[in-house]
């Protein structure tokens, strides 16, 4: 524990659950509901901030600054100050326990914001002075419009899932944090009505009022590069002069990189592109149906050749499908891709990655023990290859860290073992709908899919 002296003379203890996000950050779900952090999406209530009457705070209709002192936000802050893990922070806790670098840790590194910087503006009950601690970091999801139906996703975050969801669930509605959402067919398209929250002028007025404080905006989807309001947001930031001091970060499936967006990006201080690429060729196309690898590869090359203010990386989602392919993908990235921008930093010189915690049947912990042994062997072979090929010490360390982290997480808990039958069932059901066969892509799984 690190002891800090606050300006009030009180002793400030730096706990090992500390995270800057509850003090400088605001996150908006695809339906406009405000939440603690996207990492809390694996919890029962998705980390949603609620009013005393139980209804969610929503960016389209509520004062976003009021939600910063909601009951849940105050509770999370109190727990962090006391060194207690909130349930909403369970994903970071689980990842750290298994040796991974959690979001909590890399946000600490990103912001350098310490308890001593905020303690004088934080009350005993966990509430903060929102004027003294303005939002400098936004996570904005402008609806759920998306052209893909990735296997680890669902209708809450992708309109591309609607058709398959109706067939799988045998119903035309799903639940989200605002309640039951109905899917309708209109002019030949399946639509829903709760994901256009970003068309409300109140939201834009609040964002523009705070624009001078904003340093970082993270955008995901849906697919942000398909959403018209995203382009309007970029243009507004350029027009009001905020762009020059702002970093815009994306999580994008790389299916739509237009000349327009490449031009808009040149006006910003930094653009960070987290490309949702979980493999190459048929592996990518299977997990991120109905993507076309060749088209996506051309877009990756466009970004790699774009302006110097762009930093890019592969945001590899590790699932029970593609973990066996992960070493092959990393070897391809190093040996054959020829990319200059993607993962060219000393901290992440190969790829970036994160675990698919949900749905639970896609978590790599569901894998049978013999499959886990094959996974570990493939990672060992990859690390040996990196050393044999004479890559730098930085790359060798990264390869070793990735192996230890992924395999450590995979083997840390066996509580998911019962979900292997769910993995087989869901895989078979979706394969039938999509005309796919998991064994065409991952033949190593054949003995365990019977």
Return the SS3 of 41. helix
DSSP 175-201: EETTEEEE-EEETTEEE-SSS-GGG-H
Residues 234/243, Cβ–Cβ less than 8 Å: yes
Q: What is the pTM of this model?
A: 0.91
Q: Whose CA is closest to 38, among 78, 2, 82, 91?
A: 91
> How far apart are the C-alpha atoms of 437 and 282, rounded to whole Å?
11
Per-residue pLDDT of the chain (450 residues; tens, 9 = 90+): 233 333 333 334 457 899 999 999 999 999 999 999 998 888 888 999 999 999 999 999 999 999 999 999 999 999 999 999 999 999 999 889 888 889 999 899 888 887 788 999 999 999 999 999 999 999 999 999 999 999 999 999 999 999 999 999 999 999 999 999 999 999 889 999 999 999 999 999 999 899 889 999 999 989 999 998 899 999 999 999 999 999 999 999 999 999 999 999 999 999 999 999 999 999 999 999 999 999 999 999 999 999 999 999 999 999 999 999 999 999 999 999 999 999 998 888 999 999 998 889 999 999 999 999 999 999 999 999 999 999 999 999 999 999 999 999 999 876 666 789 999 999 999 999 999 999 999 999 999 998
> How far apart are the C-alpha atoms of 400 and 392, rounded to whole Å?
12
> How far apart are the C-alpha atoms of 202 and 81, rounded to whole Å?
33
């Amino acid at each position: 524990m690190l002891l800090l002296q606050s300006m009030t003379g009180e002793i400030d203890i730096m706990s090992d659950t500390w995270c800057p996000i509850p003090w400088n950050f605001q996150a908006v779900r695809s339906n406009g509901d405000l939440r603690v952090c996207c990492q809390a999406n694996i919890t029962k209530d998705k980390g949603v901030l609620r009013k005393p009457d139980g209804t969610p705070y929503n960016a389209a209709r509520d004062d976003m600054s009021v939600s910063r002192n909601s009951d849940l936000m105050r509770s999370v802050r109190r727990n962090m100050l006391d060194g207690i893990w909130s349930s909403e922070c369970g994903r970071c806790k689980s990842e750290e326990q298994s040796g991974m670098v959690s979001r909590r840790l890399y946000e600490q590194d990103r912001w350098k914001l310490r308890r001593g910087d905020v303690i004088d503006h934080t009350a005993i009950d966990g509430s903060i002075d929102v004027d003294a601690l303005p939002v400098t970091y936004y996570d904005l999801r402008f609806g759920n419009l998306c052209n893909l139906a990735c296997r680890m996703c669902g209708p809450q975050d992708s309109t591309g899932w609607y058709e398959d969801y109706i067939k799988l669930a045998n119903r035309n509605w799903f639940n989200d944090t605002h309640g039951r959402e109905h899917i309708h067919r209109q002019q030949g398209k399946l639509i829903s009505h709760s994901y256009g929250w970003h068309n409300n002028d109140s939201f834009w007025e609040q964002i523009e009022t705070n624009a001078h404080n904003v340093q970082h905006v993270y955008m995901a989807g849906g697919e942000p590069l398909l959403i018209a309001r995203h382009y309007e947001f970029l243009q507004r930031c350029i027009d009001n002069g905020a762009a020059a001091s702002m970093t815009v970060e994306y999580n994008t499936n790389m299916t739509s990189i237009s000349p327009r967006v490449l031009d808009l990006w040149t006006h910003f201080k930094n653009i960070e592109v987290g490309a949702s690429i979980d493999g190459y060729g048929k592996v990518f196309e299977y997990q991120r149906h109905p993507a076309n690898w060749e088209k996506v590869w051309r877009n990756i090359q466009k970004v790699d050749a774009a302006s110097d203010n762009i930093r890019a990386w592969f945001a590899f989602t590790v699932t029970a499908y593609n973990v066996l392919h992960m070493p092959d993908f990393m070897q391809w990235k190093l040996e054959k891709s020829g990319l200059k921008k993607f993962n060219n930093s000393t901290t992440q010189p190969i790829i970036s990655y994160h675990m698919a915690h949900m749905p639970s049947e896609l978590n790599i912990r569901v894998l049978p023990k013999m499959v886990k042994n094959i996974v570990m062997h493939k990672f060992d072979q990859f690390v040996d290859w990196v050393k044999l090929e004479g890559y730098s010490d930085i790359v060798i360390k990264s390869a070793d860290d990735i192996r230890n982290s992924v395999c450590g997480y995979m083997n840390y808990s066996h509580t998911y073992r019962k979900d292997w039958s769910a993995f087989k069932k869901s895989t078979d059901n979706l394969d039938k709908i999509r005309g796919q066969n998991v064994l065409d892509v991952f033949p190593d799984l054949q003995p365990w899919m019977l």
